[in-house]
């Protein structure tokens, strides 16, 4: 399973029981948390998410609505006697903030918190089964986007078709990797004739708080599901720009250029109680759009 569960879809000021940004990405048996606004630990309980499975936390930037829930969550992990390491990828100044808070509280941790400062663009996590890339987006303070990609999956060997062929078992891993086999007599056995493509590697792109800027699209190749903020409706383009945020139409334009399979929009201003117009305006430009709604899991397929 590869999916994203929305815990918070609102901009800075909580309203209408909408919460500040937090998303759980599920990739098979691992969970990743992207941003951690105030109340995230309560939202995790509300939606019965197994927080012990969270292995990596990614914080896009240090406006409070994207991380004020983090010190509480990290403390609670310890109160629940977490033992496994936790990787935190975040802007560098967060380290000092957390250290100051935890030393003042004399907090003792039951687990190891590994802080990885965001800085260079590129791959920041390279796991056996997935990678995480980061890149700069454009906000009032330094702000990063993230792409979580499944690694290209090996092809599956078609045992029936393989039956008559003279290919040693030792070569099977290379078949799965897509290589042709050359027999001792020099005959080439085409990979496609004995293997079947696996399901395509999927990916999730996260562009949190950002002003409209097409240059981010170069980091968004081959995205299955793209989240892009849409804080305001289209008639508030000036207001959006003055606050380094985007409108519905601007999120849709990014999707038009980056060409993900689907677009998810969120970070709605608390100025809006009803969200219907966000969907209407965005779908008009990029039809495969959904609203990020709290408690809903969007499968990445």
List, as residue ranges, the binding site for Zn(2+). Answer: 61, 63, 65-66, 139, 209, 267
Written as six digits, the tokens of 270 are 């608390």
29 is catalytic: no
- Closest by Cα among 136, 147, 113 to 25: 147
Stretch touching a copy of itself by CB under 8 A, among 11-19, 52-60, 191-199, 201-209: 11-19
Shortest Cβ distance from residue 84 to a copy of itself (Å)?
18
Instruction: Detail the residues annotated as belonging to a binding site.
Output: 61, 63, 65-66, 139, 209, 267
Taking CB under 8 A as the binding criterion, the range among 88-96, 123-131, 229-237, 274-282 that sits at the site for a copy of itself is 88-96
241 phi/psi in degrees, rounded to 5: -65, -40
Which range in 59-67, 125-133, 200-208, 272-280 contacts a copy of itself by CB under 8 A? 59-67
Answer yes or no whether residue 228 interacts with a copy of itself by CB under 8 A: no
Identity of the residue, 77 or 227, whose beta carbon is nearer to a copy of itself in the bound complex: 77
The answer to the question of residue 19 lying near a copy of itself (CB under 8 A) is yes
Nearer to a copy of itself, 43 or 289 (CB): 43
97 binds a copy of itself (CB under 8 A): yes
Q: Closest approach of Cβ 28 to a copy of itself, in Å? A: 28
Q: Does 75 bind a copy of itself (CB under 8 A)?
A: yes
Instruction: Measure the CA–CA gap between 4 and 295, rounded to whole angstroms.
Output: 10
- Of the residues 141, 277, 284, 293, which one makes contact with a copy of itself according to CB under 8 A: 141
Q: How many residues bind a copy of itself (CB under 8 A)?
A: 35
Instruction: Please identify which residue in 62, 157, 241, 283 interacts with a copy of itself, judged by CB under 8 A.
Output: 62
13 binds a copy of itself (CB under 8 A): yes
Q: Which residue is catalytic, options 17, 35, 65, 106?
A: 65
Stretch that binds a copy of itself, among 98-106, 122-130, 212-220, 291-299 (CB under 8 A): 98-106
**Residue from 3, 30, 42, 115 binding a copy of itself (CB under 8 A):** 42
Residues in the chain: 301
Residues carrying an active site annotation: 65
């Amino acid at each position: 399973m590869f999916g994203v569960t929305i815990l918070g879809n609102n901009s800075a000021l909580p309203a209408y029981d909408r919460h500040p940004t937090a998303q759980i990405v599920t990739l098979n048996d691992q969970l990743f948390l992207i941003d951690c606004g105030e109340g995230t630990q309560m939202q995790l309980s509300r939606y019965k998410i197994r927080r012990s499975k969270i292995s990596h936390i990614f914080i896009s930037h240090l406006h409070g609505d994207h991380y004020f829930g983090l010190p509480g969550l990290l403390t609670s992990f310890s109160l629940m006697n977490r033992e496994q390491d936790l990787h935190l990828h975040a802007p560098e100044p967060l380290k000092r903030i957390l250290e100051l808070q935890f030393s003042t509280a004399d907090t003792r941790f039951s687990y190891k918190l590994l802080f990885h400062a965001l800085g260079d663009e590129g791959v920041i996590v390279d796991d056996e089964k997935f990678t995480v890339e980061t890149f700069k987006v454009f906000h009032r303070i330094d702000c990063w986007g993230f792409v979580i990609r499944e690694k290209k999956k090996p092809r599956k060997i078609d045992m029936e078709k393989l039956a008559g062929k003279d290919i040693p078992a030792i070569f099977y891993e290379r078949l799965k990797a897509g290589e042709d086999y050359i027999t001792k007599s020099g005959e080439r056995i085409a990979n496609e004739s004995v293997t079947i493509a696996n399901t395509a590697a999927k990916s999730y792109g996260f562009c949190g708080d950002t002003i409209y800027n097409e240059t981010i699209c170069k980091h968004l190749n081959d995205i299955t599901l793209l989240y892009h903020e849409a804080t305001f409706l289209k008639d508030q383009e000036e207001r959006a720009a003055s606050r380094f945020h985007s409108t519905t139409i601007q999120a849709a334009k990014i999707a038009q250029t980056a060409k993900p399979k689907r677009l998810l929009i969120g970070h709605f201003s608390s100025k809006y109680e009803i969200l219907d117009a966000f969907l209407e305006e965005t779908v008009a430009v990029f039809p495969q759009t959904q609203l990020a709604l709290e408690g809903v899991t969007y499968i990445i397929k």
